[in-house]
Copies of this chain bind each other. A is one copy, B any other.
Amino acid sequence: MAIYQNDLVYIEIEESEIPWLKIFTRTPYKELSEAPHEVKTEIWRLLDIIEKEMLAFYKPDKINIASFGNYLPHLHMHIMARFRDDSFFPEPMWGKQQREGSYRLKDFDRFCADLVKKL
């Protein structure tokens, strides 16, 4: 489900124990460098805002960003707020599970509602 969209991109929630959003391009490109300059610039602009909002709201231990698309070759960027006590830290969310995470996602609806006002 998209929480935000404009002419170039849309943003979806990844269901997870942590705050995790995905920025997709409206036009499906396979690789980042294939996207027009204005689309790339829009991705960087949104990543910057989302990261700052995640840092301010959740005070995570680290932000993680990734673009893989090996299963689904439609350009998208993951942005995640990571916590020392989440299930995978310090491994990436795609890595080996480290523990039963004690971090619990809080107020994500409110975070998203506040965020989209700033995009």
Q: List chain A positions with a Cβ less than 8 A from chain B.
A: 30-33, 40, 44, 47-48, 51-52, 55, 61-71, 73, 82, 89-92, 94-96
Contact = CB atoms under 8 A, between A and B. Distances in A.
Contacts of A91: 70, 94
B73 A32 contact: no
B67 A31 contact: no
A31 B40 CA distance: 19
B44 A70 contact: no
B63 A48 contact: no
Given A31-B62, A63-B67, A92-B94, 17 more contacts: A31-B51, A32-B48, A32-B51, A33-B48, A33-B51, A33-B55, A40-B44, A40-B48, A62-B69, A64-B68, A65-B67, A66-B68, A66-B92, A68-B92, A70-B89, A71-B90, A92-B92
A92 B55 CA distance: 25
Nearest to A47: B32
